[in-house]
């Protein structure tokens, strides 16, 4: 009997590598259309206007007093009249209603109803920070 030495020859199992490559290829096929997808947007033409909308601040104090940009307003009908004039002059104006956190709901509700009757389109309700 001859003694032949069995030397282990290195071999590479390529099946797992091919599986990984196929998974990567499938992922590339699915993600490539998403990456190249674009949406056509029609942008407006013309000269841009630098006019900012007018911002009116209506403050409702803790005792129900109303203020138009710091100036006291005597009643809800007077406030509504000013709002109607504002909307006739500048329909894009923004009205910020800022009730005091200590105020009752009723004065704020009356101010909001006046803005609705005056057809205010751009209304923001902010919380007044604590002083």
Maximum Cα interatomic distance, the chain, rounded to a whole number of Å: 121
Candidates 17, 92, 107; CA nearest to 56 is 92
Fold of 55-125: Nucleotidyltransferase; domain 5 (3.30.420)
pLDDT tens-place string over residues 92-114: 889 999 998 888 889 999 999 99
pLDDT score of 67 more than 60? yes
pTM: 0.58
Candidates 85, 80, 87; CA nearest to 66 is 80
Q: Where are the beta strands (DSSP E) in 14-100?
A: 55-60, 66-68, 71-73, 94-99
pLDDT tens-place string over residues 113-122: 999 999 988 8
Specify burial of residue 64 (Cβ count, 10 A radius: 0-12, 13-18, 19+): middle
CA–CA dist 28, 30 (Å, integer): 5
Question: What pLDDT is stored for residue 16 in this prediction?
Answer: 87
pLDDT band per the 50, 70, 90 thresholds, residue 51: low
pLDDT band per the 50, 70, 90 thresholds, residue 4: low
Question: What pLDDT is stored for residue 39 in this prediction?
Answer: 72
pLDDT score of 79 more than 80? yes
pLDDT score of 82 more than 70? yes
Beta bridge partner(s), residue 68: 58, 71
Q: Do residues 122 and 53 touch, judged by C-beta distance below 8 A?
A: yes
Q: Do residues 95 and 60 touch, judged by C-beta distance below 8 A?
A: no
Domain spans of the chain?
Answer: 55-125
């Amino acid at each position: 009997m001859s003694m032949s030495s069995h030397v282990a020859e290195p071999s590479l199992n390529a099946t797992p590598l091919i599986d990984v490559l196929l998974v990567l290829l499938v992922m590339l096929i699915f993600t490539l259309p998403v990456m190249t997808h674009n949406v056509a947007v029609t942008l407006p033409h013309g000269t841009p206007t630098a006019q900012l909308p007018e911002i009116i601040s209506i403050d409702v104090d803790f005792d129900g007093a109303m203020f138009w940009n710091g100036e006291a307003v005597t009643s809800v009908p007077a406030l509504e009249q000013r709002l109607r004039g504002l909307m006739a002059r500048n329909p894009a104006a923004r009205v910020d209603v800022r009730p005091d956190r200590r105020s009752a709901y009723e004065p704020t509700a009356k101010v909001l109803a006046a803005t609705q009757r005056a057809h205010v389109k751009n209304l923001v309700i902010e919380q007044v920070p604590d002083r």
